Structure 1
């Protein structure tokens, strides 16, 4: 994930109360009108609970598009 991807994820999750499940992250970002690339990155996360947006950023694969298509 690039620095700009990290900024997009952070912005999409701004205001979300943590801890949050993956499904909560995706739904929150969708509700905020996040870009498709940001949503794909969040959808590529492993299932589970995340304690902060920084934890989410660290968990997103470097190439989320390839993770989903592979």
Structure 2
């Protein structure tokens, strides 16, 4: 999907997150960091679980 943000865009808005982090924590942190709609949509589509690293989040976004 062309609108899916790349991992660098996503991680830009997740800087400072303490891992492991839940999906809700990631979405909330991204919102607070000023993430755009594409990034928020991508994060809202990932599985509702704990993520142990930025790489795990990037992988989940690319698989969503």
TM over 0.5: yes
User: What is the TM-score when the length of structure 2 is the normalising length?
Assistant: 0.86
1:44 alignment partner in structure 2? 45
1:23-42 paired onto structure 2 within 5 Å? 23-42=24-43
Per-residue CA deviations over 1:2-61 (Å, capped at 9, x if unaligned) read 8x6211111111111100000000000000000110000000000100001110000114
Query: How big is the alpha-carbon RMSD for the aligned residues of Structure 1 and Structure 2?
Result: 1.9
Where in structure 2 are there 5+ consecutive unaligned residues?
A: none
Size of the aligned set, in residue pairs, is: 62
Runs of 4+ in structure 1 over 2 Å off = none
Partners of 2:38 and 2:54 lie apart in 1 by 17
User: What is the TM-score when the length of structure 1 is the normalising length?
Assistant: 0.79
